Amino acid sequence: MEILKIVLGVIQALLSVLLITIVALQTTKSEGLTGSIGGQVTSTFKGKPGMDEQIRTYTIYVSIAWFAVSVITAIAYNR
């Protein structure tokens, strides 16, 4: 059980660093408070996804993995 806790801790740390890195790579769509009030302009063109869309997709996958590992780690440490 201790090995499982160590492995989960290492995976959690790696996913945390990866998630921070991916979020830092994203470009902002708007500047400051005016962008949050007015919203963002999105295009309806559905061509090949660009780098921003790919990074957004990776962010979603890594955050879901981070959450799942967090839940599993919490369960492992409470037993």
| Spatial contact of 58 and 22, defined as CB atoms under 8 Å apart | yes
Q: How confident is the model at residue 52 (pLDDT cuts 50, 70, 90)?
A: confident
pLDDT at 51: 86
* 8-state DSSP, 26: P
Say if residue 65's pLDDT is above 70.
yes
* This prediction's pTM: 0.73
What is the average pLDDT across 42-59? 79
Say if residue 61's pLDDT is above 60.
yes
Residues 6 or more apart whose CB falls under 8 angstroms from that of 63 comprise 19
Quote the tokens at residue 32.
């400051």
pLDDT at 34: 56
Say if residue 30's pLDDT is above 90.
no
